[in-house]
Amino acid sequence: MSHAPGIIFGMLAAWALAAAGTTAIEPDPAPVSILLVLYVSLTVVGLLGSMAFSGLETATYAMSRLRLLVRMSRGDAAAARLHHEIINRRRLLSTLLIGNNIANFMLSFGITSILTQVIGLGDWSSVVIQAAILTPLLFVVGETLPKEYGRSHANVLVYRTAGLLRGFRIFSTCIGLLPLVYWLGEGIVILTASRQARKVASARARMVSLFEEGVGYGILTEQQSSLIERALAMRDMTVMDELIPWAKVVTVPEQATPQELHRITSRYSYTRYPVVDSTGSVIGIMTLLDMLAAERETSRSETAGTPAPVPAPPLILEVRLPIQQALAAMREAGVTLAIVANTDAGTSSGTTGKPIGIVTTKDLVEPLIGDIAAG
């Protein structure tokens, strides 16, 4: 946050006052003493104000939003006041900007006036001394140290100064400064930023930020935070993201004999296989148990031409269907494997055109809980 406007205006005002008050008559000691007290008071108040607003600026960024919500849920009045002040980020920054510049104006005006009005230094001498005094005083004592304190003690400082922040916001609103600065900023954003850039961060992004903060404070473990982030990310995923391409799928011909089924089960260890007709369309799903049962019946009857068991009707999922809806459809249908195809409807049962892949419940839940070993 820039301190330059307040410094410059304070120095210009003090020099103008000094120029207007230049006289050949010796100043009366009594008024000089009063002026000295006044200018020293302005300097001290300006320095303290600069420290307060600089520290608050950093503290409002570094504070724990999660801890704030917890305190609010317990009925903490200070937390409620603080939340009301920081909920509007642009208004908060405008308030801090105004406070910082007013404080810097008072500080620079006070120091310049002491040098020119009380001590009686010339303009150039005043400039040199201010460069040696004002700059380190403002940027080290008035800014750097308070900001470091605000960063390291954010969760203490913000609650203790919530009343000060609220009071100054009301004051700057009453005198018209805050509305002026706020709406000027709004106008600049509207003129220069894209529509997307003007959008407030989504609720999902804020939730992720809170969860990450919870990890930092030990409220949540990294595993818990990671699980929540994956659950939020899963909302944007579709069946296309998790399907197994059809080229990698092992299928069973519609007219397969038990001997052919035996060759398939001996070579692969899958529990379910899509059954396709002569055109390549899926007509059903056959389980490993059905195939093994057919082999057993064949070995008992020693009849090579025994037909394969009738497959169960397949569940067809549209490729753009969200993962959560796909899981719900599979759970409702009582299946663990579905065919993925380009269809107009989200889900359907029965035959379909040429499929583009398959998906299992295991594939759909892995984005949430991580890789699952195939059983």
Task: Tell me which of 72-81, 289-298, 346-355, 360-369 is least confident.
Answer: 346-355
Q: Which residues contact 53 (CB under 8 A, 6 or more apart)?
A: 96, 99, 100, 103
CATH number of 239-369: 3.10.580.10
Residue matched to tokens 């207007």: 20
Mean local confidence (pLDDT), 185-214: 59
pLDDT digits (tens, 9 = 90+) for 312-340: 888 999 988 999 899 999 999 999 999 99
Alpha-carbon distance 259 to 304, whole Å? 7
pLDDT exceeds 70 at position 353:
no
At 278 the pLDDT is 84
Q: Which residue has the higher pLDDT, 337 or 5?
A: 337
At 196 the pLDDT is 47
Mean local confidence (pLDDT), 293-311: 60
- Where in the sequence of the chain do the CATH 3.10.580.10 domains occur? 239-369
